[in-house]
């Protein structure tokens, strides 16, 4: 648990209150956008904000519902629309997975997701937010999916509810054009909702949220259906991974602003506890929120106490101001979320789209299209798989370039003068297979191809002097090379086994196929042994002729 202290009480108090004011309209908007309702957004902000601050590893971070998490949550609530208890169980499972991530200390690895995947995903989420808010903006009910929205959008845009459209456009204008000197005092989303609510009193045709339940939430006990367990686990894993990435990226931002260092694994545990409790309380999942965190820091918040105050302030608002929030128009929330969607889009990446490598561009576009037109779960899965395959291909190409089958000493730049002299005396009857760097399964097949292309030799020297590590596939490829060479009557020597390479080759039995007397420490020793073997073979042949 983060130790709460009063060393920065004034700054934390104002930082937490300011962050709560910013979080209130966003929590309501994200709750509506998720399909779980405004109260679910508020309880998500309260639970995740409180417990992530109390148990997390980033002192000044403010957590709660975010755009990316809301889009994934909307997918979950759509999948289990008739069984909301299962949707909240998915949220709990995601929290439990995040706790597990923290205890397994894999927080440092989550940030390894390739940037084109992250960019395509974030831009896709921004596009989804924008598309899904156009209908509420023009006075219609929120659509169930992007495809559904695009199908009915033309007809609805041509026949808008003018009162709703006016409110929505004014709310959007306030979020984008409010002077900074005012925005530093009152958050633009809050101004947009207040103005929108006042306008709704006179423009009565604009749909509003209606009554919002107040008081303590009813506990949501976990509910499982083994027929849907696979879908639940996949959705929970995506929520957990996305929430972890979102939170840790915000932690890096907080570090840069406050010149501190966060604890990634502790932060994941705190976020996991927050999401677990949010699911139990009927709240939507959340993560570290960059805008709210920066708002907190700018207002003076520096310790976990600011996050606790932010959550307590939201809880007080829920208990006392439910009737006031009921008059907030859907169009005003749509205007606020349109601005959020525009901000989520990765404009930095898009501005460089004409300069990007083709592979990165294709990867980003694939993830973007799948996020918008299929679902975010599929987009993340396909993006990670394609990125991994691309990385393996690039790595294998580099490894393949380092593999050399050397039969002519004049072209062996890596040889010392002594080694070149000895190798020249072999008369072209010896072949050195030189490997360097980390050899993985991507380059395993190429080793056998390169040897086959060179032709037949009497002695094969496998040079591993420059190989620090090797994986199982490459080790088995080496075994196949040795067996083929010996089956064709060649002598095989191995040189330069490092301890990790020798340990792996010994563990899987590859060293059993090559005698210990055929293993050498230096390249010169191996070439000298090859020269002796060739001499012995030649003497044996002459004796047979006599």
Residue range 438-467, pLDDT digits in tens: 777 667 667 767 666 666 788 888 888 888
State which H helix or E strand residue 436 sits in.
Answer: strand 430-436
Mean pLDDT value across residues 116-144: 82
- Per-residue pLDDT of 211-244, as tens digits, reads 666 677 778 888 888 888 888 999 999 899 889 9
Rounded Cα gap, residues 149 and 79, in angstroms: 17
Kind and range of the H or E element at 116? Answer: helix 115-137
Say if residues 380 and 120 touch (Cβ distance below 8 Å): no
Average pLDDT over all residues of the chain: 83
Helix, strand, coil shares, percent, the chain, to 5:
70, 5, 25
pLDDT of residue 451: 65
What is the distance between the alpha carbons of residues 405 and 74, in angstroms, rounded to a whole number? 56
Helical ranges in 374-455 per DSSP H: 376-402, 417-424, 444-454
CATH architecture designation of domain 403-545: 2-Layer Sandwich (3.30)
Task: Give the least confident one: 123-132, 267-276, 356-365.
Answer: 123-132
Q: How far is CA 369 from the centre of its chain?
A: 17
Query: How large is the average pLDDT for residues 484-491?
Result: 84
User: Residue 494: enclosing H or E segment and its boundaries?
Assistant: strand 491-495
Higher-confidence residue of 65 and 255: namely: 65
With CA atoms as reference, report the closest residue to 67 among 289, 325, 218, 310: 289
Helix (H) or strand (E) holding 254: helix 229-258
Token look-up 């597990």 returns: 100
CA-based angle 417:423:427, to the nearest 5? 135
| Cβ-Cβ contacts under 8 Å for 411 (sequence gap 6 or more) | none
Range 326-335 average pLDDT: 83
Do 524 and 422 form a contact (C-beta atoms < 8 A)?
yes
Phi/psi for 433 (5° steps) reads -95, 105
Going by the DSSP 8-state scheme, the letter that residue 437 receives in this structure is S
How far is CA 74 from its chain centroid? 19
CA distance 435 to 400: 9
Question: Both tokens of residue 431?
Answer: 């072949």
| Whole-number pLDDT of residue 37 | 82
55 vs 374, higher pLDDT: 55
State the average pLDDT over residues 357-376: 86
Confidence of residue 127 (pLDDT cuts 50, 70, 90): confident
Per-residue pLDDT of 497-512, as tens digits, reads 888 888 888 888 888 8
The whole-number pLDDT of residue 173 equals: 92
Give me the residue spans of the domains in the chain. 9-352, 403-545
Q: What is the pLDDT of residue 452?
A: 65
* Among the listed residues 532, 507, 504, 508, the one whose alpha carbon sits nearest the alpha carbon of residue 518: 532
User: Residue 461 is inside which H or E element, if any?
Assistant: strand 459-466
CA 266/CA 107 separation, integer angstroms: 9
pLDDT tens per residue across span 21-54: 778 878 888 888 888 888 889 999 999 999 999 9
**Stretch 419-432: mean pLDDT:** 85
Indicate if the pLDDT at residue 539 is higher than 60.
no
Average pLDDT over residues 109-135: 80
Instruction: Give CA–CA dist 61/104, Å, rounded.
Output: 22
* Cα angle value 2/6/9 (rounded, 5°): 115
CA 220 to chain centre: 29
**Beta-bridge partner residues of 459:** 430, 491
Per-residue pLDDT at 354:
85
Reported confidence tier of residue 489, pLDDT bands at 50, 70, 90 = confident
Q: If you search the block for the tokens 């921004």, which residue do you land on?
A: 126
Q: Report the C-alpha gap between 524 and 530 in whole angstroms.
A: 10
Strand partners, 432: 406, 461
Burial letters 33-43, b for 16+ CB under 10 A, else e: bbbbbbbbbbb
What percentage of residues in the chain have a pLDDT greater than 90?
17
Are the beta carbons of 348 and 379 closer than 8 angstroms?
Answer: no
- Single out the residue of 49, 31, 48 nearest to residue 40, CA to CA: 31
């Amino acid at each position: 648990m983060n130790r709460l202290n009063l060393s920065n009480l004034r700054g934390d108090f104002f930082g937490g209150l300011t962050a709560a004011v910013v979080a209130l309209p966003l929590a309501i908007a994200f709750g509506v956008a998720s399909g779980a309702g405004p109260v679910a957004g508020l309880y998500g902000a309260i639970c995740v904000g409180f417990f992530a601050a109390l148990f997390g590893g980033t002192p000044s971070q403010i957590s709660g519902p975010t755009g990316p998490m809301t889009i994934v949550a909307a997918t979950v609530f759509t999948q289990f629309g008739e069984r909301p208890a299962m949707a909240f169980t998915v949220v709990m499972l995601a929290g439990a997975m995040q706790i597990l991530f923290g205890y397994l200390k894999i927080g440092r690895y989550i940030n390894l997701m390739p940037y084109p995947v992250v960019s395509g995903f974030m831009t896709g989420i921004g596009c989804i937010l924008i598309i899904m808010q156009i209908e509420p903006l023009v006075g219609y009910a929120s659509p169930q999916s992007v495809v559904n929205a695009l199908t009915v959008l033309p007809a609805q845009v041509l026949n808008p509810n003018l009162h709703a459209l006016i409110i929505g456009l004014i709310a959007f204008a306030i979020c984008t054009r409010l002077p900074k000197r005012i925005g530093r005092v009152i958050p633009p989303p809050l101004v947009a909702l207040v103005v929108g609510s006042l306008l709704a009193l006179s423009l009565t045709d604009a749909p509003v949220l209606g009554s919002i339940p107040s008081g303590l939430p009813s506990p949501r006990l976990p509910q499982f259906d083994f027929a849907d367990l696979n879908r639940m686990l996949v959705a929970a894993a995506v929520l957990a991974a996305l929430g972890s990435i979102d939170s840790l990226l915000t932690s890096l931002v907080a570090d840069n602003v406050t010149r501190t260092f966060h604890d990634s694994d502790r932060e994941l545990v705190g976020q996991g506890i927050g999401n677990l409790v949010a699911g139990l309380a009927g709240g939507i999942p959340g993560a570290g929120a960059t805008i709210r965190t920066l708002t907190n820091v700018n207002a003076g918040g520096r310790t976990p106490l600011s996050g606790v105050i932010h959550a307590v302030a939201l809880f007080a608002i829920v208990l006392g101001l439910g009737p006031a929030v009921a008059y907030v128009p859907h169009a005003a929330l749509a205007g606020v979320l349109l601005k959020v969607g525009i901000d989520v889009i990765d404009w930095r990446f898009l501005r460089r789209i004409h300069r990007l490598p083709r592979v990165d561009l294709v990867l980003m576009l694939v993830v973007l299209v799948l996020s918008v037109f299929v679902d975010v779960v599929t987009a993340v899965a396909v993006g990670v798989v394609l990125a991994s395959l691309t990385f393996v291909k690039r790595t294998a190409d580099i490894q393949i370039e380092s593999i050399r089958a050397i039969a002519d000493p004049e072209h062996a730049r890596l040889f010392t003068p002594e080694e070149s002299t000895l190798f020249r005396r072999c008369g072209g009857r010896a072949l050195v297979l030189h490997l360097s760097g980390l050899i993985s399964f991507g380059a395993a097949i190429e080793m056998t191809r390169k040897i086959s292309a060179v032709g037949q030799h009497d002695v094969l020297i496998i040079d591993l002097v420059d190989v620090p590590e090797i994986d199982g596939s490459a080790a088995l490829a080496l075994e196949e090379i040795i067996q083929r060479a010996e089956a064709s009557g060649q002598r095989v020597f191995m040189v330069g086994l490092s301890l990790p390479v020798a340990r792996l080759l010994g563990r899987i039995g590859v060293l059993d196929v090559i005698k210990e007397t055929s293993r050498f420490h230096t390249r010169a020793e191996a070439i000298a042994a090859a020269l002796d073997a060739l001499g012995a073979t030649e003497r044996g042949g002459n004796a047979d002729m006599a």
